[in-house]
Amino acid sequence: MAGLSATNPFAGYAIKGVQTVYGLSLRREILFPSGTDIQIQVVRPSMLKQKGPWEGWKKLPVDAELEKVAVSAPMRTATPGNKPSDPTNLLFLGSQTQLVAAFSEAGWFQADNVGVKSALKVAQATMRQSGYSSGPVSTLLLNGNPPDMVFQKSLNTFAKRHHIRVWKLPKQYNEEDVWVGAATHDIATESKRAGSKWSHRIDPHIDRERDWVETDLLFVGTGIAYVHVDRPGAPKKIANATGDDIVTDGKISVVQLAKAKEPKEEKAAAGR
């Protein structure tokens, strides 16, 4: 096109005009959904606006009963073939309605079930390097049971995403349901078995994902308090089912969920 413009000025003006119109038609802003996390790196000395002192998120008091619930919770998931995998690292106190509302309001999606339809979507997202906001996760069991719910959060790539598998425990604390979760952060996809099997590689420092999940809920207000409880018997350095190294302090984060908002329709009906 540059050569054509040099040899024929009239054609050059036409090409330049088309380029200008096409450029104006492009949307150059990037729109992120609500709940998107953005990491900002300061690369040179900068003066930032000072904020007043902050005491941090509200801490949940730990009594003997809560400590017993946290320490006795299952510590390790396993594959259907009974191969040890991701450790558990979060506990949630509240009903299923509260749990679903907490993650939904923070921008998380419930993951699709593993099947032909979801597999085709995964293949498409992988080839096109695009996102799949409700992409499935591999099946992991806790005490032989599949997760009751799976939540994930990602942007425009299937290779990197936050996800957590959640199981309901057969116990309560202060008359509230107790849910245990195993959260990890997918940071890349990789192929194994000569390219015939694909899997995600996770961030080995899973405590960062534990803290990230709790902070995400506390920030939007669907989590109202938290506390880290030490588990003396928890392993500190392990590997998951796909061979990724995992390093952790062994603590589990307990998050108190906020009461779910009452649907507007029910409020209107109650007022009549």
For residue range 99-126, what is the model confidence (pLDDT) as tens digits?
A: 999 999 998 989 877 655 655 655 565 5
The reported pTM is: 0.76
Question: Where in the sequence is the domain holding 123, given as residue range(s)?
Answer: 64-257
Q: What are phi and psi of 156, to 5 degrees?
A: -100, 30
Pairing mode, strands 237-239 and 245-247: antiparallel
The answer to whether residue 11 is domain-embedded is yes
In a domain, 267, yes or no: no
Residues 191 and 240 in one domain: yes
Query: 21 and 80 in one domain?
Result: no
Condensed to tens digits (0 to 9), the pLDDT of residues 205-255 reads: 999 999 999 999 999 999 999 999 999 989 899 999 888 899 999 999 999
Do 77 and 183 belong to one domain? yes
Q: In the chain, how many domains are there? A: 2
Answer whether residue 54 is part of any domain.
no
CA 263 to mean position of chain CA atoms: 25
- φ/ψ of 102, rounded to 5, equals -60, -50
Instruction: Report residue 264 CA to chain centroid gap.
Output: 28
Is residue 45, in this structure, part of any structural domain at all?
A: no
